[in-house]
């Protein structure tokens, strides 16, 4: 059958961008179907209302939502549509996806992340498995991300450093905030090993992208200079320059059509005007984001896929994972600091760029007799955007403040101290109680069943998160911070989701083969975070990028 394109990629974020870039660079024709709009760099102003108070970069919940199942007080599950709860589970619906809004904290997985079960043993009630590939298989692609997407940093020796094929990063570190040296000094006193955090942010003008402006408005905001390594700026726009990429924003794919042999023949989608259209290709790549990729495949039954593409053994949507962990903070009170320290604390713009991985493997008899998988602690300053802060201090003793009392409280909040935060990342163990299914009673504006997501966490995740949070608190205390606290929760972060289309070597226990090709559908690949059987103890974006470049090479080999 004659096809319109060599490859059809559904989604343009961290999972789709590398595939689009690599295939267009290699001379193949690619069509990209992206549900969201196409914002350019010039569209990303530092607008707090658009970013953080209104669904400017995410769908309106009246049009698109999820149904979330959470534990109830009776030992069961309660299901609530997010249009009712207001709990949006979207995280950036646009060309480039949520990579436009990331903070760009880039950590590689480590060799032990690829063999979680064999390295640390089983955990009762968890479905952790070893990956079908190892760190050495992905290492060249981590390096490729550094070069193509643009990762800045400085390699340091530390006890848990992963192997590298290059001596250092291709771009120097971004500018550091003075508080970084405070962290270094406290950690040295404690005998810990702080590391400079690599960032997907360019400190210099390169690749027709401007350098970071150090505005302080980075995480949750789109980049107004192009310095941030979003899939849009780093990959999709260069792919368009080849004239071999047909980008179609506001194109909602609602099902994939397949033939009796299981091969996908067409993608059916609604265009910006709501008109139903189809596109054909030799190979299809799904990269919608973990929850939405499972949803699309579940909705795409066919002659050889009665229960959805890749679901012959009931594995599709299962073993969804998030990032476990928690967060903590401390305050540096200006009245207790020297004038020089106050000036340092007040500085705006540069990044803290410090993390601890001393407990990536926990070897502590107080925690357990056997070594256990630990995680990462990242330090950052509280976001400078004032609107959420002002919104949070408007109440006192249950009463709404107005006028002068509110002004005085705001003055105190913004002028008396500086808040330093730490975030903990550790494994969210896959279980039978965390998965995606279809909810046929709730539909989106195109009439498609929405994703129903069960959000069950394993108690082991909380134990590791608490252990690491205590270490973060210890550092803040050593720095002299006031009001130090932390919290660990089983509530999952919507911006760190993976799994649902686990890859593996056994079709009965996985959705994808080791090349991320759907079992039983030889021309269908999944290249977003869905493939991950376990998530590691770092943010996922670098690994998503790296694996998508790996998948692109597999596709090139199949196309010939």
What's the pLDDT tens digit per position in 42-76? Answer: 999 888 777 777 788 899 999 999 999 999 988 89
Residue 133, φ and ψ in degrees, nearest 5: -125, 165
Q: Are the C-beta atoms of residues 345 and 337 closer than 8 Å to each other? A: yes
Beta bridge partners of 482: 331
pLDDT for the residue numbered 52: 73
Alpha-helix residue ranges (DSSP H) falling in 128-268:
135-145, 179-190, 231, 237-241
> What CA–CA distance (Å, rounded) separates 398 from 127?
45
Q: Are the C-beta atoms of residues 424 and 375 closer than 8 Å to each other? A: yes
* Pairing state between β 67-71 and 449-455: parallel
Tokens encoding 502: 């686990």
For residue 281, the 8-state DSSP code is E
Beta bridge partners of 257: 266
Read off the pLDDT of residues 289-348 as tens digits, 9 standing for 90 and up.
Answer: 999 999 999 999 999 999 999 999 999 999 999 999 999 999 999 999 999 999 999 999
Percent of the chain having pLDDT more than 90? 88
Phi-psi region of 86 (alpha: psi -120 to 50; beta: other; left: phi over 0): left
Read off the pLDDT of residues 462-504 as tens digits, 9 standing for 90 and up.
Answer: 999 999 999 999 999 999 999 999 999 999 988 899 999 999 9
Residue 329, φ and ψ in degrees, nearest 5: -160, 165
3-state secondary structure of 195: strand
Tokens encoding 92: 């950036």
Residue 1 has pLDDT above 70, yes or no: no
Cα three-residue angle 432-290-424, rounded to 5 degrees: 75
Calculate the average pLDDT of the chain: 95
Read off the pLDDT of residues 204-247 as tens digits, 9 standing for 90 and up.
Answer: 999 889 999 998 889 889 999 999 999 999 999 999 999 999 99
Which residues have a Cβ under 8 Å from the Cβ of 255 and sit 6 or more positions away? 267, 268, 296, 299, 300
Cα three-residue angle 439-445-448, rounded to 5 degrees: 35
Beta strands in 475-539 (DSSP E): 482-488, 497-499, 524-526
pLDDT band at 2 (very low <50, low <70, confident <90, very high): low
Q: How far is CA 420 from CA 197, 209, 356, in A?
A: 16, 30, 15
pTM of the model: 0.96
H or E segment to which residue 376 belongs: strand 375-381
CB-count burial class (<10 Å; 0-12, 13-18, 19+) for 219: middle
The candidate with the shortest Cα–Cα distance to 11, out of 290, 223, 241, is 290
Read off the pLDDT of residues 127-154 as tens digits, 9 standing for 90 and up.
Answer: 999 999 999 999 999 999 999 999 999 9
Residue 365, φ and ψ in degrees, nearest 5: -60, -30
CB-count burial class (<10 Å; 0-12, 13-18, 19+) for 398: exposed
């Amino acid at each position: 059958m004659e096809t319109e394109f060599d490859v059809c990629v559904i989604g343009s974020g961290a999972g789709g961008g590398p595939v689009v870039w690599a295939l267009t660079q290699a001379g193949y024709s690619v069509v990209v179907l992206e549900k969201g709009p196409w914002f350019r760099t010039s569209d990303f102003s530092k607008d707090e209302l658009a970013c953080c108070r209104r669904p400017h970069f995410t769908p309106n919940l009246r049009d698109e939502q999820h149904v979330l199942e959470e534990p109830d007080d009776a030992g069961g599950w309660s299901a609530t549509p997010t249009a009712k709860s207001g709990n949006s589970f979207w995280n950036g619906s646009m060309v480039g996806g949520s990579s436009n809004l990331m903070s760009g904290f880039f950590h590689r997985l480590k060799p032990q992340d690829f063999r979680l079960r064999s390295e640390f043993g089983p955990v009762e009630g968890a479905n952790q498995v070893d990956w079908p590939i190892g760190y050495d298989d992905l290492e060249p692609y981590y390096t490729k991300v550094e070069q193509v997407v643009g990762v800045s940093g400085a390699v340091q020796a530390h006890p848990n450093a992963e192997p590298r094929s290059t001596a250092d990063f291709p771009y120097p570190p971004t500018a550091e905030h003075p508080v970084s040296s405070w962290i270094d000094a406290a950690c040295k006193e404690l005998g810990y090993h702080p590391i400079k955090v690599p960032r997907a942010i360019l400190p210099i003008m390169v690749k027709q992208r401007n350098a970071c402006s150090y505005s302080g408005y980075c995480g949750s905001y789109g980049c107004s200079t192009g310095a941030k390594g979003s899939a849009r700026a780093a990959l999709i726009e260069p792919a368009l320059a080849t004239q071999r990429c047909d980008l179609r924003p506001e194109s909602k794919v609602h099902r994939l059509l397949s033939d009796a042999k299981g091969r996908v023949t067409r993608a059916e989608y609604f265009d910006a005007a709501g008109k139903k259209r189809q596109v054909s290709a030799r190979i299809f790549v799904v990269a919608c984001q973990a929850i939405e990729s499972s949803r699309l495949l579940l909705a795409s039954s066919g002659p050889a896929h009665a229960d959805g593409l890749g679901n012959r053994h009931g594995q599709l949507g299962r073993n969804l994972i998030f990032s476990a962990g928690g967060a903590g903070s401390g305050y540096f009170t200006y009245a207790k600091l020297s004038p020089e320290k106050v000036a340092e604390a007040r500085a705006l713009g540069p990044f803290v760029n410090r993390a601890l991985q001393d407990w990536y493997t926990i070897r502590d008899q107080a925690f357990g007799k056997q070594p256990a998988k630990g995680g990462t602690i990242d330090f950052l300053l509280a976001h400078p955007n004032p609107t959420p802060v002002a919104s949070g201090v408007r109440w006192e003793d249950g009463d709404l403040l107005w006028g002068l009392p509110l002004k005085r409280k705001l003055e105190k909040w913004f002028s008396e101290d500086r808040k330093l935060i730490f975030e903990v990342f550790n494994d969210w163990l896959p279980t039978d109680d965390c998965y995606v299914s279809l909810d046929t009673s709730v539909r989106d504006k195109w009439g498609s069943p929405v994703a129903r997501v069960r959000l069950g966490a394993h108690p082991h995740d909380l134990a590791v998160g608490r252990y690491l949070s205590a270490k973060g608190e210890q550092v803040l205390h050593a720095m002299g911070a006031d009001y130090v606290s932390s919290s660990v929760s089983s509530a999952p972060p919507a911006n760190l989701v993976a799994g649902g289309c686990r890859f593996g070597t056994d079709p009965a226990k996985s959705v994808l083969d080791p090349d991320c090709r759907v079992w039983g559908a030889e021309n269908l690949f999944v290249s977003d975070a869905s493939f991950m059987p376990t998530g590691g103890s770092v943010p996922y974006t670098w690994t998503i990028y790296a694996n998508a470049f790996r998948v692109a090479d597999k596709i090139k080999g199949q196309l010939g």
